[in-house]
Structure 1
Amino acid sequence: MPTEPESPGPALPPGASTAAQPATPSAGIPAPATGRAQPPARPVRRHPLRAAPGLAAHRLAPVLSGGLPPASGDSMPDWLEPAMAANGIGSFDWDIRRDVLEGDQRACAIMGLDAVDKVRFDCTASSFLTLLHPEDAPVVRRRVERAVAELGQCGAYYRAVGPNGTMRAVRFRGRVLADAFGRASRMVGFVWDATVELHKRDRADRLALLREERSRFIKEAARALSEAVTVRDVARVFTELPLPGLPPDGLVLAAFEAGRAQILGASGYRPGSLSIWDRTLLPAGHPAAEALRHRAPVFISTREEYREGYPEVWEPTSRNGRGSWAYLPLVASGRAIGVCVVSFDDERELDADERTLLTTLGGLVAQSLARARLHDAEHELAAGLQRVMLPRTVPSVPGVTTAVRYLAAGSGLQIGGDWYDVVPLPGGHVGLVIGDVQGHDVHAAGIMGQLRIALRAYAAEGHPPAAVMARASRFLADLDTDHFATCTYAEVNVDYGVVYAVRAGHLDPVVRRSDGTATTVPVAGGLPLGIDPDQEYRVTRFSLDPGETVLLCTDGLVEARGMDLDDGIARLTRTLAEPLPPAGEAARDPLESLADRIASQAADSSEREDDIALLLLRWDGPEGGLAAQQLRRRIGQADLARISEVRAELRDALRRWGVAEFIDTAELLSSELVTNAIRHTDRDAMFTARLYREPDSAGGRARLRVEVEDESDLWPTRRTPGEQASSGRGLMLVEALADAWGVEPRGSGKRMWFELSGTAAA
């Protein structure tokens, strides 16, 4: 493609069409408008381009002198011809009005006209354009036409195609001269072979383009490596980098610890070919060890150079068939952490620009690898803390199905104070815990671990929900950490789907009902744990039908940047209410799919600033459709009000079990046994009521057994009190009203029990 030279208006040889040629059919260029009638053009005899030694004597002098008079009248200066001959410059003259092109011998040779068939070339502009490369001819035509119209200069590079198909680069520069009437008359100028000049220019353009590509590559590599988070990401980015100008045949990224190499990633090598160096101590004579030792790249251009310089490791290295290598040390913060190996199949000597590019790339990879290793170490620490602090597995409790999720925050150490727990309770019940310790660091995670264990222990002992929460608050306050925690604890009666919930500054539970709707269940709340050691918490009771699900979560699930709490809860309830696949059709339990759906709709990791703990429990109902009829409660030594609560729960249970005729007697005798245990011991008592059915017996007989356990070795003694005695009648009542009763030893303490028999309702 012809290009415009630096000076104004240079162009190719006059073989371009003009805007001011005679109105002859061969020219194809209109004559310039002069404002007056033009004489009719007389026929011109076409003749071949001829060598004219004195061609430009008077015509080219003004062009060379810039308009100054020639050195001696109208003759050419004596120095002009030798100067043009010495520099291989030819001259041409194009008569615009007659459309005749003439040139000296050098011009003919340069433009390739000396070897052109005279029939094919008739010295006209149109005929000359046919000799140009098809891509260059239109450009030359436009430039010459503009010069003729403006009586100016033009010039360009163009490619001339010879008769045998050979191509040469030519450059010309010409000026349009006017006649006495100010009309374009002729164009005179110079022409010279520009093949070498154009090759140099093309090479300079290629080098400039290559430098631009390398600069762009460094920017793109820096961006890609800055986005690499893990060591695996850095290795992937490095082994996929397209190095401009020197595509390598092999890339290896290795890290070093205690002198041992660990191959992180490689490309261009056969599987297993690098295993000899993986996780091994590199010998001191290895070029990678030398690069790390001196903190400087090692470039090896030939196989012979490698064999002579590193004979100790040449034999295993030669198996890969490489011909040249570049070992780039990875140095970060003054410490060598690894090496990059760039290899080529052929032997090559890398130039200064290529070595600079590879050295720069090594620096970028080193910084990215150091950052990624730190990230991986922090992530491993966070994962280890999470494994220790959170339950490793969720226990399986018959009658319920649970699903849990923990999502670390989008930045930072990825561990915090959020936790969940599922606690099997006495009597086959289950306790649900969700909580969030103030802060998002290792300190908060440590406090969370202590609080989770303490709360789990209180719950497993059988304490009622209010007592569990109160003791956990007192425990956190006694730790004196200046941290508080929010928490929700719920005890689920697996037999009947009854939930007893306590809330300490935390979110209310959300329940997905059997009709597919989801609602928030208001739970009476108290202060967060650790603020007031004497805080008392109220219990809220609600029930679940078989198949209904209760959800507990931390605020990270419903609060994020740009989303307030109300909007987050509304979104959560909508997600919870979406239809689930039937249990028989799904490849996994629908509750797990629901947990995945909720977690996936949490705020994006780049926006989420808090951890997320999520706990789902679905009450599946009693096996076979009948409840495992049991009631088990712990009664604290100083919690006398708890006795009244247990009596109320017993009445409710017996009514649901269909043995309402047992209520009065069972309540009276239970009060006696519990009171006896509380009065005569200094420990808590455990109350258990079970209903046994005898379906094979006539009338559907049922047997109620009530047990009260304590840790006292003092056995009760039956005695006959006097009329004025205020105590001693309890065992008499038990003996008189119960169908059977007794006392059984335990490892520590005893168990008192009684049984009532009757007919159960259908």
Structure 2
Amino acid sequence: MATEPEPQGPVRRPPLRPPEQSVRERERGARERALRGAYVAAAARGMPPPTSDSAPEWLEPAMAANGIGSFDWDIRRDVLEGDLRACSILGLDPDRFDRSSDAFLALLHPEDAPVVRRRVERAVAELGQCGAYYRIVAPGGQMRAVRFRGRVLADVEGRPSRMVGFIWDATAELHKRTRADRMAVLREERTRFIKEAARALSEAVTVRDVARVFTELPLPGRPPDGLVLASLENGRLQILGATGYRREAIQPYDRAPLDARHPAADAIRTRVPVFLASRDEYRERYPDAWPRVSPLGRRSWAFLPLIAGSRPIGVCLVSFDDDRQLDSDDRILLSTLGGLVGQSLARARLHDAEHELASGLQRVMLPRRVPPVPGTTTAVRYLPAGTGLLIGGDWYDVVPLPGGHVGLVIGDVQGHDVHAAGVMGQLRIALRAYAAEGHPPAAVMARASRFLADLDTGHFATCTYAEVNVEYGVVYAVRAGHLDPVVRRVDGSTVVQPVVGGLPLGISPEEEYKVTRFTLDPGEVVVLTTDGLVEARTLDLDEGMDRLRQAVGGPLPETAKGVEPLEALADRIAAEAAESAEREDDIALLLMRWDGPAGGLPQQQLRRRIGQADLARIAELRGELRDAVSRWGVGDLADTAELLASELVTNALVHTDRDAMVTARLYRDGDGSARFRLEVEDDSDQWPTRRTPGEQAASGRGLMLVEALADSWGVEPRGSGKRMWFELTAAPG
């Protein structure tokens, strides 16, 4: 029960007067009551008590007219007395009422009695005033609200002696206050609801989000029993979301033409909400629409038009299972909700349209499919940026090349907007054309850089282009300001493959790019990606590359029957990127696994062509050969193999005028031993001659070294030219 801030005191009833009183006694009683009332009134105002001769004649009629009773509590004797009106207000029988303060407190509601006791005790201690609302429980169980005000009087020595005051029935007053409090709480709930609805709808991005938020909104007061959100599309209502209705009940309305005799049509046409408080009102105002609505069991409705930019875009339906005459506050609340939903829906529709446009443009710019190339398996993924138009300049491509080779392209045009996507589309097509014409990787990259510079778009692009010799697993890679590839070995380990880098495309038209060669074993995977996967404002490049290596390495994901493991690996990488809160840029991802040619190859092989004028290539061959032998598990043979290979290749280039083809293979025997064989082929018919050089001779010792260090060696004719070879044997591991 709501109480006033001032304290409250107990109430005492007056003694019951016998029914047979003389006229003189009645007159004397009236004078005493009037005097007591004047005494109480003066005390309540802090004035000196009146004498018997100063009681105003109007006091008793005034208190009677206003239903006010008076009480007098003798504090020392703990005796309560009150006039007949006080007893009537409290519902007491004066003959059977114990006039002690404890008996009075026993009449009060259990929640109010402690409050009254504390306030009266404080007033007595401070010689002050007190007052309160409290509830009285009558003997018959009825409950009424009472209000009193009293003041404590002191005796001549300054000690508390009496409390005198007024009492009156406050049931109606308290109900009014209760209703006001309830309305205040409801208004607060409505205000809080509008704030929460506005926040939730402002965070809704798509049309589906808006429908979900609307159908889950907890409306204040008695909540509705049904909610439906529908958009207006070419004169038809498309239901976006609903709750409280069976699907089959609202299905006939979905995508159906809007009936002009329906309340939803009225709301959309007039742009004013339509409120129907009962089934009779619905039937009377919309007789043609009523037969379809009647079986649904609703009894009152609100149709709220959704307006955006002075144009109707849909309607909300709020329905109830009982007759409900919505008051002005309810209608204002629902109208405000309709406005919020309309603005949010308009924004979400624009977002969905932009997203669809961006997605369509991105699909056109990127390859529709990756062409299959025998001997390789590829997987690609594209993830749009987390914000903005969800379109960007990242791209990938797989280009079949002459001679059974395949070109892998990964690139990123600066920016992630429509302009960047347009530049990306042009550059992708140009680079693909240069590669398909058969130009070597360095020439492809240089021509693409000149092409982008000539476009004069103000954009630059990073790119990695790799040409893969599918027959031998040799990769020729060129990098223009882009990330190095990551290679996944057959055992699940990973390594970042260094590739010599150059300037991004479009910055220097005359830039010359260098080629880096590396080899793959069957089953190894090359991973090419853009920087959106490994770099962000809160993520540096080294940490991002470590994360990528962890995602690429380790056991391959378990797959269902018929699912390519490489696709599952691409899904794992993309899923980790999509779940990252650090991602801000779009991402292109290209994975290629070298399976070997269709006819198969020995388990491990390295094949290189050494140009006649490219003597520096011999040093590169030595490094590649050392790496290959180590990867094949026979690293103890690396030094000998490197030395003997240099001798045979140098012999072929010095004594002929043609290129040399170097092939290195490792064979596994049944007893667990391994046999390393290296062959050097040339087109010269000149047979090598073993000589014994003089002490000061600068050459002639090559074949002597081969004969001394190799387990076996030889020279074989091959129709046109010859083949020199040597073999090294490694003991079982």
CA–CA distance in structure 2, aligned partners of residues 667 and 427 of structure 1: 25
Deviation at 1:329, TM superposition (A): 1.1
Tell me: CA distance 1:134–1:484, structure 2 relative to 1, closer, same or farther (3 Å).
same
CA–CA distance in structure 2, aligned partners of residues 192 and 222 of structure 1: 47
Contact 2:612 2:657 in 1 (8 A): no
Corresponding position: 1:14 with 2:7: no
Determine helix, strand or coil for the equivalent of 2:464: strand
Amino acid of the structure 1 residue aligned with 2:38: A
Deviation at 1:496, TM superposition (A): 3.5
Structure 1 residues 13-162: aligned runs within 5 Å? 13-14=10-11, 49-50=15-16, 56-65=33-42, 66-68=45-47, 73-114=52-93, 118=96, 121-162=97-138
1:4 paired residue number = 4
Contact 2:8 2:117 in 1 (8 A): no
Structure 1 residues 277-288: aligned runs within 5 Å? 277-288=253-264
2:26 paired residue number = none
CA–CA distance in structure 2, aligned partners of residues 12 and 595 of structure 1: 81
Tell me: CA distance 1:405–1:671, structure 2 relative to 1, closer, same or farther (3 Å).
farther
Contact 2:14 2:87 in 1 (8 A): no
Structure 1 residues 55-454: aligned runs within 5 Å? 56-65=33-42, 66-68=45-47, 73-114=52-93, 118=96, 121-454=97-430
CA–CA distance in structure 2, aligned partners of residues 402 and 74 of structure 1: 115
Contact 1:94 1:102 in 2 (8 A): yes
Determine helix, strand or coil for the equivalent of 1:130: helix
Determine helix, strand or coil for the equivalent of 2:265: helix
1:701 paired residue number = none
Deviation at 1:539, TM superposition (A): 0.4
Contact 1:411 1:606 in 2 (8 A): no
CA–CA distance in structure 1, aligned partners of residues 650 and 8 of structure 2: 120
Deviation at 1:461, TM superposition (A): 3.8
More displaced, 257-266 or 144-153?
A: 257-266
Contact 1:48 1:122 in 2 (8 A): no
Amino acid of the structure 1 residue aligned with 2:118: R
CA–CA distance in structure 2, aligned partners of residues 431 and 461 of structure 1: 12
Corresponding position: 1:555 with 2:552: no
CA–CA distance in structure 2, aligned partners of residues 153 and 434 of structure 1: 88
Contact 1:13 1:174 in 2 (8 A): no
Deviation at 1:269, TM superposition (A): 1.3
- Structure 2 unaligned runs (5+)? 18-28, 630-644, 666-679, 683-716
1:720 paired residue number = none
CA–CA distance in structure 2, aligned partners of residues 526 and 390 of structure 1: 25
Deviation at 1:476, TM superposition (A): 2.3
1:614 paired residue number = 589
CA–CA distance in structure 2, aligned partners of residues 380 and 641 of structure 1: 55
Deviation at 1:216, TM superposition (A): 0.3
Tell me: CA distance 1:671–1:196, structure 2 relative to 1, closer, same or farther (3 Å).
farther
Deviation at 1:423, TM superposition (A): 2.7
CA–CA distance in structure 1, aligned partners of residues 108 and 46 of structure 2: 31
1:172-196 Cα distance to aligned partner (Å, 9 max, x none): 1111111111111111111111111
Contact 1:416 1:442 in 2 (8 A): yes
Contact 1:2 1:140 in 2 (8 A): no
Question: By percentage of residues, which structure has more helix?
Answer: 2
Tell me: CA distance 1:139–1:644, structure 2 relative to 1, closer, same or farther (3 Å).
closer
Amino acid of the structure 1 residue aligned with 2:198: A
Corresponding position: 1:519 with 2:519: no
1:712 paired residue number = none
Determine helix, strand or coil for the equivalent of 2:259: coil
1:430-451 Cα distance to aligned partner (Å, 9 max, x none): 3221100122211211121222
Identity %: 70
Amino acid of the structure 1 residue aligned with 2:11: P
More displaced, 209-218 or 615-624?
A: 615-624
Tell me: CA distance 1:601–1:582, structure 2 relative to 1, closer, same or farther (3 Å).
closer
1:110-162 Cα distance to aligned partner (Å, 9 max, x none): 112228x83xx421111221111111111111111101101111111111112
Contact 1:250 1:266 in 2 (8 A): yes
CA–CA distance in structure 1, aligned partners of residues 32 and 241 of structure 2: 72
2:693 paired residue number = none
1:24 paired residue number = none
1:719 paired residue number = none
CA–CA distance in structure 2, aligned partners of residues 144 and 535 of structure 1: 97
Determine helix, strand or coil for the equivalent of 1:383: helix
More displaced, 426-435 or 579-588?
A: 579-588
- Structure 1 unaligned runs (5+)? 16-46, 675-686, 692-703, 707-736, 740-753
Structure 1 residues 666-745: aligned runs within 5 Å? none
CA–CA distance in structure 2, aligned partners of residues 101 and 212 of structure 1: 43
Deviation at 1:542, TM superposition (A): 1.8
Contact 2:152 2:163 in 1 (8 A): yes
Amino acid of the structure 2 residue aligned with 1:3: T
CA–CA distance in structure 1, aligned partners of residues 230 and 615 of structure 2: 70
Determine helix, strand or coil for the equivalent of 2:69: strand
Question: Superposition RMSD on alpha carbons, in Å?
Answer: 4.3
Contact 1:12 1:171 in 2 (8 A): no
Deviation at 1:582, TM superposition (A): 6.7
More displaced, 294-303 or 146-155?
A: 294-303
Structure 1 residues 627-646: aligned runs within 5 Å? 627=602
Determine helix, strand or coil for the equivalent of 2:289: helix
CA–CA distance in structure 1, aligned partners of residues 179 and 413 of structure 2: 67
CA–CA distance in structure 2, aligned partners of residues 547 and 102 of structure 1: 105
Contact 2:35 2:50 in 1 (8 A): no
Tell me: CA distance 1:760–1:275, structure 2 relative to 1, closer, same or farther (3 Å).
farther
Deviation at 1:629, TM superposition (A): 11
Determine helix, strand or coil for the equivalent of 2:252: coil
Corresponding position: 1:479 with 2:455: yes
Determine helix, strand or coil for the equivalent of 1:274: helix
Amino acid of the structure 2 residue aligned with 1:373: R
Amino acid of the structure 2 residue aligned with 1:610: D
CA–CA distance in structure 2, aligned partners of residues 154 and 390 of structure 1: 83
CA–CA distance in structure 1, aligned partners of residues 652 and 237 of structure 2: 76
Determine helix, strand or coil for the equivalent of 2:158: coil
Deviation at 1:619, TM superposition (A): 3.5
Deviation at 1:508, TM superposition (A): 1.6
Number of residues paired by the alignment? 647
Contact 1:483 1:530 in 2 (8 A): yes
What is the TM-score normalised by the length of structure 1?
Answer: 0.75
CA–CA distance in structure 2, aligned partners of residues 445 and 665 of structure 1: 53
2:635 paired residue number = none
Deviation at 1:589, TM superposition (A): 5.2
Determine helix, strand or coil for the equivalent of 1:435: strand
Amino acid of the structure 1 residue aligned with 2:461: A
Tell me: CA distance 1:2–1:609, structure 2 relative to 1, closer, same or farther (3 Å).
closer
CA–CA distance in structure 2, aligned partners of residues 96 and 624 of structure 1: 116
CA–CA distance in structure 1, aligned partners of residues 306 and 457 of structure 2: 43
Contact 1:232 1:264 in 2 (8 A): yes
1:749 paired residue number = none
